[in-house]
Every structure is written in structure tokens, then in C-alpha cells.
Amino acid sequence: MKLSEARKNKNIVQEDFSHMIDVSLRYYQRLETGKSIPTVKIALRICKILEVSPFDITEWQDELRS
């Protein structure tokens, strides 16, 4: 599941969510696009609010390379 999808399922806009997890809006946008990976502390905060497992977030998964 994409991070943006999980957030939208909770009807939370990016700006509000960035405040909820105590990060800048720009940093949160980078998390949603997969350009940044959160610290464990931030990832757990995100997952608690969105009620999802960190293993379910597509942007945080390692891709297998051949």
C-alpha cells in the first residue's frame, strides 16, 4: 500500500499529517514519493496514526535487484 493511499484512507491531508508526525511538509512529501526513508521513530509514528504495519508501506520496501 502506498503511503499516500494509507493517509487518504484516514481522510488526512498532507499538511495536517506532517504536523501530526512533527515533520516539515516538504519532508513528508519526500516520504510519500519515496525520495526519503523515515527514521524508525517517524515510521512508527506514521504507522500508529494510520493503523498500518511498516511492512505494508510500498515506499519502504527493499526492491530485489537481479
Residue 37: which CATH number? 1.10.260.40
Does the structure show a pLDDT above 80 at 16? yes
Q: Is the CA virtual torsion 36, 12, 17, 55 positive or negative?
A: negative
Cα separation, 9 vs 32, in Å, equals 14
CA distance 28 to 66: 30
Q: What is the pTM of this model?
A: 0.88
Q: Is residue 40 part of a domain?
A: yes
Kindly state whether residue 60 falls inside one of the protein's structural domains.
no
Mean pLDDT of 5-18: 98
